Amino acid sequence: MKIAVFTDSYRPYTSGVVHSIETFTCELTALGHEIYIFAPSYPHCRNENRVFRFPSIPAPTNRDFTLAIPFSPRLNSVISKWQPDIIHVHSPFLLGQVGARFARKLGVPLVFTFHTLYDHYVHYVPFARNLTRALTRRYCRDFCNQCHLVITPTSVIGKHLKEMGVKTRICNIPTGIKLEDFAEADSNWLQSQFGLNREEKILLFVGRLGREKNIDFLLKAFARITKELPQTRLVLVGGGPEESNLKKLATRLGIASRVLFTGPLARMEVIKCYRSADLFVFASKTETQGLVLAEARASGLPVVAVKAFGTSEMVVDGDDGFLTGESIPEFTSHIKKLLAEDDLRQRMSVRARINAQSLSSRNCALKLSSEYSTLLENKNFLRKTV
């Protein structure tokens, strides 16, 4: 079948949403489906087959991100000529609205993946945050109720949407991972690439350096850990708007020499980081899935994470890691336990790899493909007002 994907973020920008789209595109294409992606343009974007770029402007709160101008004189002819069977949107905003409009025009099913707890990002709004949060929740609810199917990466997010008033059918399909990518990566890459002491225990975080990731909590927790266990290092992989502030905080806490900011890395380099570390640490409270947690497990990394939303379904507490409250003493006590007990860390490493098997990208794509087929077989979807 032909699937048109509308997204407000796409490469070269890096994010969980972008990675999800890339992973499903690869697997769905391997299953014989045709994918056409409609996305914002970025400076120096190369021409790609089956990728339509909208003119865009830099986002005011994140200069690495662009905002699509949701109009193009070529769009109608491209979509009319290609004739998609399904339109799948990955945002309820700019290009998500464009996708919804074409689903209505063409009479095809509209699928929406709810990737982000948008109301948890109001800290980027300089005023009226409570009102903005309420309006964002209502907007997301109404958009979901225009769709024929809503995909959530974890069941806890599906429950959250139902509590918000979403009536559309919700299906839990996580973003899968290519397990084979994690099998043979260099397990000493971080040490050799950045000159780290091979005797150090490495705590790893991978993700966007934004306020919503709660990385200041990680730094404060690590400041406590390094006082008791000086042969530890915290490695933060990724870039983002808070990088400068986080470096200043590390300096104020007296741990700047023990914290490595790698900046953004290529995909295979990130995988090598997982394989080079001893523990994965995570404090974000806004995740719908937390794909990096699944990747850590595939690498055999035990996880210590703050229990919140999607994170709670990505870690089996006491089996392949620990889930804690947002308490620095509780969080650090579990990290110290895993660093001190090699046998426990090894057992959890084995369990992490086993548990990651359920998140095969091929299996997740097969489930999504099945949902597409069900929609197309159910002619009643045309009765729904989009």
Kindly state whether residues 216 and 161 are assigned to the same domain.
Answer: no
C-alpha 230/C-alpha 110 separation (Å) is 53
Kindly state whether residues 335 and 222 are assigned to the same domain.
Answer: yes
Domain with 140 in it: what CATH number? 3.40.50.2000
Which of 190, 235, 217, 191 is closest to 308 using CA atoms?
Answer: 217
Encode the chain (386 residues) as per-residue pLDDT tens digits. 999 999 999 998 888 899 899 999 999 999 999 999 999 999 888 888 999 999 999 988 777 889 999 999 999 999 999 999 999 999 999 999 999 999 999 999 999 999 877 665 554 555 556 677 788 889 999 999 999 999 998 888 888 899 999 999 999 998 888 888 887 778 889 999 999 998 999 999 999 898 889 999 999 999 999 999 999 999 999 998 899 999 999 999 999 999 999 999 988 999 999 999 999 999 998 776 778 999 999 999 999 999 987 788 889 999 999 999 999 999 999 999 999 999 999 999 999 999 998 889 999 999 999 999 999 998 655 545 44
Kindly state whether residues 133 and 245 are assigned to the same domain.
Answer: no
Kindly state whether residues 352 and 298 are assigned to the same domain.
Answer: yes
How wide is the angle at C-alpha 252 spanned by C-alphas 248 and 256, nearest 5°? 70
Kindly state whether residues 139 and 21 are assigned to the same domain.
Answer: yes
Per-residue b or e along 215-225, where b marks 16 or more CB atoms closer than 10 Å to that residue's CB: bbbbbbbbbbb
> Taking the model in full, what pTM does it have?
0.79
C-alpha 28/C-alpha 37 separation (Å) is 13
Kindly state whether residues 30 and 161 are assigned to the same domain.
Answer: yes
Number of domains in the chain: 2
The whole domain housing 124 covers 2-176+361-383
Kindly state whether residues 197 and 103 are assigned to the same domain.
Answer: no
pLDDT for position 382: 55
